[in-house]
Structure 1
Amino acid sequence: MLRGLRKHTSGNAAFIVAIGMPAFIGGAGMAVDVSQWYLWKREVQHSADQAALAGAWALIDADSASSYEMRAKQEFDGNLAVTADFVSTPNVTLADYAGGEDNSVVITAQVSKRLPFSGFLTGNAVTVAVRAQASFKAGANYGACLIALKKNGNGMDIGGNASVKAACGLAALSCGDDAVVIDGSATVETDSIATCGKANVPPENQDVVSENVKGLQDIYADLVPPENNDVPPPYSCKNVNKTEMAILRPGIYNGGIVVKCNTTLDQGVYIIDGGILDLSANYDVTGANVLFVLKNGARIKLGGNGNGNKITLSPMESGPYKDILIIEDRDSHPDNPGHKINGNSNSLIEGLIYLPNGEIEILGTADIASQCLQISAYKIKISGNANIETLCPTGTSVGSGLVMVRLVG
């Protein structure tokens, strides 16, 4: 019989097909089930990833931190489609990451369902489990009392034998490779140097440098200077007890102010409309609760050529311009370098000097002491034997570094 069957070659193909049919059917069934597993895995893993990121972002913001679990679950559910009816409720937990404490969000979930082929073979449902972890790190906050606003190139240059003591911090908004340059012969004592770009500083300052900080900003960008159209009496010096003296009244000064004797400024707003606010002659200048507004290219020049003069200026004490001493109108474009503090001046200058378009040079043997002097200018250059010290307890906030949220598992 077998010998006869062997002679009938036309039936061999059918015989082979019959023998291989179970394997063929099994392979096809397994392929269908595996494709389902892959689809489930991909969908639920994507949902878990997005949930972990949503939870991490919620924890960064103090206003939403308490709802991180709810936000994670909302994001998880929002990304489901095929598995929405049989996926488990995600488990949302906090975990330590990279030496931190509770600084990551972990999502675990699973789908379980009986499939036709694998269920027939095993009698059980198939379970696919996923896990996602997202870490978060808040951006560092940066404060500064010497701030260069220029967005490219060199913004802050400290050189010569200059000495700067500003624990409240330095900042440059420039993203250039030479945003901050401190020459090796200059001495800078500060707790922070932050810049969008690079800082070329001596070794002793490198441990306080933060580079490539993208969140820095000019917080006074929306500041609108006040107006004062009062016409004051002409500036004139009078002999008082054999000493030439003058008193300046608030108002608008077309063409600037040049002091020619010991001068006292009454409190109020002084509009310098063009020209120079020149306090560089060797005379004492005193003003409390004053504010200078520079318009139409007006410039400042502070500090004399000898030791004979003292400049004592303090800012507005109340109101919307509290703690501001000098504002440059945003439409004013002085020649650069236009603003100067120089000479052997013994100066006590308080408050904010805000020069959004002007470069300021502090040079020669300028000697400025202050309980809290803040300079926010387009560009800041300090050189020569200049000595500047500001004792602000904290600097003006110039923004923060970028928040970091990323998947780590």
Structure 2
Amino acid sequence: MLKPLSHRLKKLRHDKRGNILLLAGAGFSVLVGAAGVGVDAVQWYLWNRQLQQAADSGALAGAHALNKGEEYSLTARTELERTANTNFNVERLTNPPESGKYAGDTGAVELIATTSRALPFSSLFLIDPPTIRVRAVAATISEGRHCVYALAEDGIGISVQGNSEADLGCGVLSNSRGKDSIYLHGSSYLTATPISAAGGIYAEDGTYPADASLQPFGIAKDDPLADRGLTVPAHGPCTTNFRLRPSESATVGSSDPTAVHCFRGGMDIKGTLTMRPGVYIMDGGSFKSNSQASITGRGVTIILTGSEPGNVATVDLAGGNFTDLSAPTMDQNPDWAGILFYQDQIGSNQRSKITGGTTLKMNGIVYLPGGDLDFAGNSGQDSDCLLLVAKRVGFAGDSKLKNNCGDMLDDYDLSTRIIRVVE
């Protein structure tokens, strides 16, 4: 009986017909194992991606809380727990960050989280499951350069409506937290970037370029000129109700570029006015021109004031034939350098209007912190450097501003602050 068995085993040893089956069986085992490890690798990648997104959200929430003066750590952990769909450990949560480009930045939050779980296939080959580690840093950063600021904290701050086109060559920023903080409507078109708002941005299709950077619900910006501490200066006797008829011309001011000249009831200009360098106070009324007026002034600051908001002077440049005004330099008047128009902080119940005529040249800062401004340029506008800061700003017509200011605005922070994931 043993002889036939040994004979059969000998034949089996030399038989090649079963090799393919054995090789297929061995190969199939390797294939199944590789597929299993591949499935586990996909799961690891998914966990890494999900945990990274949760860490980003947590760091952002912490940075926002930090900006508001709140406890950043609790806020960041709460957001991380809300958005993470896997178990995790917080390895580091700190302000300022301890590593990376933003190490030591007091406006930044660093969050490092880990997760580690065994999976069916990989656990056959690995003693310990791999640890997935993610890191996120969120910080408050400055971005962009703006030449139009609306300081109102509610309602519409900046509007472009009707058929107007505003080509600004810089950014616009509204401090309003309203849902329509910036309002772009109808056939209007705003060429500006960034378009920044503390509230929402209402922009209909085709009202801004495709490459414009829209930044809604950002951080409100402090008045960029507040640190100047501008106030209405003391002055002597005032000229009352200054008027120029269409056929008349006049020159005002003196040889002293720091001298202060007062006009009670403002100026109503229909003729030709030359303004020497100096400070011109409009006490009530308005600084007003019509279609026949011609106004020239280099090194001038025009101050709008009154006893209360109901009678504070305004600007009303309504399509004059020729307007060429520029602010004083530091050498001419260090107290008012760069300021072309300044309205008393108490503001005005009336809107100021700057409407371009045949030629409109204005260079300097239009600063109406408590008043509203309507700006409408035209094809004859040529303003190399014009910064508009008002409570609210509305654009009409063809408004074009250039941003070639040289060093005149270097002392002002004209950026906006945004919170984003930076690492």
User: Which TM-score tier does this pair reach, normalised by the shorter chain?
Assistant: 0.5 to 0.7
| In 2, Cα distance between equivalents of 1:387 and 1:199 | 21
Tell me if structure 2 keeps the 8 A contact 1:156–1:380: yes
Give the residue type in structure 1 aligned to 2:278: G
> 1:176 aligned to 2:178?
yes
- Matching residue of 2:154: 152
Tell me if structure 2 keeps the 8 A contact 1:324–1:353: yes
- Matching residue of 2:322: 310
Pairing partner for 1:334 from 345, 348, 367:
348
TM, length-normalised to structure 1: 0.62
Query: Structure 2 regions of 5+ residues with no counterpart?
Result: 1-88, 115-130, 254-259, 307-311
The offset of 1:247, in angstroms, is 0.9
- What aligned pairs does 1:10-409 form with structure 2 within 5 A after superposition? 49=90, 51-54=92-95, 56=97, 64=104, 134-138=135-139, 139-201=141-203, 202-203=205-206, 204-205=208-209, 207-208=211-212, 209-226=214-231, 227-231=233-237, 244-249=248-253, 250-296=260-306, 297-304=312-319, 309-318=321-330, 319-331=334-346, 333-336=347-350, 338-342=351-355, 344-363=357-376, 368-383=381-396, 386-393=397-404, 397-402=414-419, 404=421
Tell me if structure 1 keeps the 8 A contact 2:266–2:313: yes
| In 2, Cα distance between equivalents of 1:157 and 1:262 | 33
Count of aligned pairs: 294
The offset of 1:322, in angstroms, is 2.0
Query: What secondary structure, in the 3-state scheme, does the structure 2 residue paired with 1:205 have?
Result: coil
Give the residue type in structure 2 aligned to 1:301: D
Question: Quick one: percent identity of the two aligned structures?
Answer: 22
- Matching residue of 2:9: none
| In 2, Cα distance between equivalents of 1:343 and 1:352 | 17
The offset of 1:237, in angstroms, is 8.1
Alpha carbon RMSD of aligned pairs, Å?
3.6
| In 1, Cα distance between equivalents of 2:239 and 2:277 | 15
Question: Cα deviations across residues 270-315 of structure 1 (Å, max 9, x unaligned)?
Answer: 111111111235121000111111112111101336xxx1000001
Summarize the Cα distance change of 1:371–1:155 in structure 2 as closer, same or farther, 3 Å threshold. Answer: same
Tell me if structure 1 keeps the 8 A contact 2:378–2:399: no
Summarize the Cα distance change of 1:196–1:50 in structure 2 as closer, same or farther, 3 Å threshold. Answer: farther
- Greater relative contact order (Cα < 8 A, sep 6+): 1
Query: What secondary structure, in the 3-state scheme, does the structure 1 residue paired with 2:370 have?
Result: strand
Tell me if structure 2 keeps the 8 A contact 1:312–1:349: yes
Larger radius of gyration: 1
